[in-house]
Amino acid sequence: MSRGKCPRVNPLDSVWILTLVTFAVNVMDGDAYSCREVKAAFQVRQVGPLHFVPETPYTDVDLLVCKHQGPSCCTRKMEENYQVAAKRETLNDILSYTYEPERILSGHSDAFHDMFQSLLSLSQGHLSSLLENFYPSLSRRALPHVNELFASLSLYSRGVNVSVEATVQRFFNNIFPLVYTKLINPDFEGSVMIGSITGDCLRMIRQDVIPFGHHPAVMAQELAGALGAGRQLSLALKKGVEVMNATGHANLSRDCVKNLMKMAFCSHCRGLTLIKPCVGYCLNVMRGCLASVSELDQPWKRYTHLLEQLTSAIAGHHNLKQATLGVTGHVNEALRYAQVHGPLITATVDKVCGLSTGEPKGMQPTSPEVTTSTITSSTPPAFAAPSQDLLEQNLRQFARIKGSFPLKPSKNNKHSLRTLSREFLTYLQRYRSFFVVLPEMLCEAEGILEDSTCWSGDDVVERYAGRVVGNGLSAQKQNPEVKVRSMDPLMAEVKESLEYFNQETEEKFPNLGHMDIWEELGSGEEDGSTTDCDDEDGCQSSGDGPKNKIEEVLPRRKPPEGRSGSDETQANPSKPPSVKVIGGSPSNSWLQSGHLILLIAGLCLQLMLF
């Protein structure tokens, strides 16, 4: 007779087997009933004091947001801290993405300002050299007026309310007494002092006598066009910095903060600290939270288009370099004109100011025949010929000196105005659709990937089943996650201010819309409406859909404090390292089941050997 299918087991072996089984169960299930991993994540992400986290899950917890059946590692106090942490992390992420465009705008604002000032300083140096070398009799007395001219132009380029036309006319008014006594009548015995009655008379009649021809008007027109575009560009760059700064400090509603916490932390209550939110779920939450920010999309695109036009204007159509460096040529031509037409100018001035007798005869209207065309056509050849020969000789000498002047504002400046403009336009194209892609960038910052399982806000699912909405306020009516009632007042004010600036710029420069952007930089086609949603936006009726594609170059995130910005993308210092959770995913459960099978098989094999 056989001894039986099962061998006899003595009491000692039974105790040993029971001990092994108990140990295996403790190994597999010990962490499933512990909040150790939740506490680790709570500490790493600096959510709050560690004593808020229980050692083991509670079975009866009164939670407001992260409600679910079964034991939980969360408490009401933890929920409060989770909301604060979720808001802080999201605002830090927004701030990190607005950092680079704000830095680009601010940095190029300074660069353009320095370039404008360098061009004005270079032009001032050219004009001073012209006077010192070819008009030495004027130089010492005229230099203060030259300094005043360029000081006013510099203030205008910085945004100060100064008239370029009035500045140029004042300059020629001030130098006319000097030109009359030093160039036109160098043997004049009297002395026309600044502030004297004779000097005042000459300054007052200058625009009626027209001693410099059309050159002051042309010079004023060119400077007003070029410096006006440069001035508006400087103001536009400052406006862009204001918009980015306001975006970085956007207000998040209560419902938004609640859903941010639900998305980021409610999974921790079940011990799932590694699972990521579903892509569609994250987009709904972020687009709902940033609905007011997304409303800046259309005025921002209009703003960037105006920036492109203004930048092209100062480096192309209204070339700022050409206009500023052309001041010397206009002044030289104006002085030549005065010398050529000296006899007629002298005759007219004698009639009005009475310089030949030494006493002004009072202000009288200039004779109708004394105009630019009359003076030009009636100049006596006997007077014009000697002066013309002398001026042509001076002009040839000036041309040689002018050719020796450096073309660039500074030897240490590696950028010309055109190069700087091209560089800026290249950067600018990255951010045309910034306010549309910002929610997607925030979701990508969370490391969310297409995966077989993800967090839907309530449970672990294979795919997100909600409808994914588009950007903007009107699209949020169908948002299943975040309730958006109205536009945030701060963002409404920013939008209104930006729209007003755009309109004001278009009114000041009506021809900007007819100018072409440099072809090699591309035109930058307008994107669709912020409220429209298509397949590329992930607006499927169910599921996460394909991964969103961001056509623009994404802005880099703000580098850690204490380090300067670099070309490499910096990791967000607020994001914690991965926290491993035992029993927190299907793969871990499968491994535990395999260990259990091997352990039981080993026990049976040992029993059979007995």
- Confidence at residue 598, expressed as pLDDT on a 0 to 100 scale: 52
Return the bridge partners of 460, or none. Answer: 455
Under the banding of pLDDT at 50, 70 and 90, the label for residue 381 is very low
Cα separation values, 161 from 217, 405, 524, Å: 20, 32, 34
* Burial bucket for residue 63 (CB in 10 Å: 0-12, 13-18, 19+): middle
455 close to 278: Cβ distance less than 8 angstroms: yes
- Give the tens place of pLDDT for each residue, 487-504: 999 999 999 999 999 999
- Confidence at residue 200, expressed as pLDDT on a 0 to 100 scale: 84
Query: 199-213, 245-259, 278-292, 509-523 — which is least confidently predicted?
Result: 509-523
As given in the structure block, the two tokens for residue 210 are 């027209």
475 close to 439: Cβ distance less than 8 angstroms: no
- Give the tens place of pLDDT for each residue, 73-129: 998 999 999 999 999 999 999 999 999 999 999 999 999 999 999 999 999 999 999
Under the banding of pLDDT at 50, 70 and 90, the label for residue 67 is confident
42 close to 79: Cβ distance less than 8 angstroms: no
Map out the domains of the chain as residue ranges. Answer: 103-233+319-407
Contacts for 295 with CB less than 8 Å, ≥ 6 apart = 435, 472, 473, 487, 491, 492, 495, 530
Under the banding of pLDDT at 50, 70 and 90, the label for residue 58 is confident
Give the other-Cβ count within 10 Å of 186's Cβ: 9
- Give the tens place of pLDDT for each residue, 392-418: 444 344 333 333 333 333 344 445 888
- Confidence at residue 370, expressed as pLDDT on a 0 to 100 scale: 33
- Confidence at residue 449, expressed as pLDDT on a 0 to 100 scale: 63
Q: Summarize the confidence of residues 556-582 as an average pLDDT.
A: 38
20 close to 605: Cβ distance less than 8 angstroms: no
Indicate the residue type of 284.
N
- Confidence at residue 59, expressed as pLDDT on a 0 to 100 scale: 77
- Confidence at residue 320, expressed as pLDDT on a 0 to 100 scale: 87
Residue 587 has pLDDT above 60, yes or no: no
Q: What's the CA dihedral at 350, 356, 360, 365 to 10 degrees?
A: -10
Rounded to whole angstroms, how far apart are CA atoms 119 and 114?
A: 9
- Give the tens place of pLDDT for each residue, 421-470: 999 999 999 899 999 999 999 998 766 666 578 999 989 998 898 899 99
Residues 34, 38, 41: CA angle, nearest 5 degrees? 150
587 vs 57: which has the higher pLDDT: 57
Q: What's the CA dihedral at 569, 575, 578, 583 to 10 degrees?
A: -140
87 close to 259: Cβ distance less than 8 angstroms: no
- Confidence at residue 565, expressed as pLDDT on a 0 to 100 scale: 40
Rounded to whole angstroms, how far apart are CA atoms 473 and 487?
A: 7
- Give the tens place of pLDDT for each residue, 470-486: 999 999 999 999 999 89
102 close to 249: Cβ distance less than 8 angstroms: no
490 close to 246: Cβ distance less than 8 angstroms: yes
pTM above 0.85, yes or no: no
Rounded to whole angstroms, how far apart are CA atoms 331 and 344?
A: 20
Q: Rounded mean pLDDT of the chain?
A: 75
Residue 11 has pLDDT above 70, yes or no: no
